[in-house]
Every structure is written in C-alpha cells, then in structure tokens.
Amino acid sequence: MPKIRGKKKQHCPCLNIRNLEMPETQELLKAAIHDNLPPECPEDVEAHWSSMKTIILNMSQKVPGLKTMRNQHWFDEKDAEIEQLISKNNRSFVPGRRTSLAKP
C-alpha cells in the first residue's frame, strides 16, 4: 500500500511588523487606512466589515511590506557553486554499490 503523504502547507506571506516600530511607518499606515476607508457606513454590517478587513489587509501589505526570506541572497550568490556540488555528488553515485559507515 503506498504511503499517504499530507498536503504541503501553502506559504502565507508574513507582514514585516518590525517596520511598524518606526513612528513614520506607523503614521503612513494610519494615513493609508484612513484615506481608503469609505466615507459612509453601509447598513449591512457584514459588507462593512468585509470592506474594512480588505482595506486593512491591503494597506498592511503595502505600507510596512512583507517579510523577505532570510538568506535568500546567499542562495542566489552561491547558486552556481551549489549546482556544481550537486552534479559532482550525482556523478559519484554508483547504482547498486552500498557503502557502510561501520568499520569492519
């Protein structure tokens, strides 16, 4: 019977909340949210909450921004070197040959 593997979690972009420690970023976020809010409240509470939620999330992604992956620049810089090591490792592999770490 084949193994059942779970689904991979989808990557959820994380907000860069460290940028919110700066007062100028806080002010920019407040202004962006305030400028994009509707002038009047609709009577439907669900519709109002949905529009507010969308505005807050969109402005939170734009103003402080999203986190960048750590060490991504390292992988970009070392990509050719990594590829060479992988190809060297693949060439040295001989099918059917077993290696043992235990001493005889």
Q: Which amino acid is at 99?
A: T
pLDDT digits (tens, 9 = 90+) for 42-72: 788 898 888 889 998 888 888 888 777 666 6
What are the residue ranges spanned by the domains of the chain? 17-92
Identify the DSSP state of 66: B
pLDDT at residue 69, rounded to an integer: 65
Output b/e per residue, 45-73; b: 16+ Cβ within 10 A: eeeeeebeeebeeebbeebbeeeeeeeee
pTM: 0.50
pLDDT digits (tens, 9 = 90+) for 6-20: 555 555 678 888 888
pLDDT at residue 24, rounded to an integer: 92
pLDDT at residue 98, rounded to an integer: 59
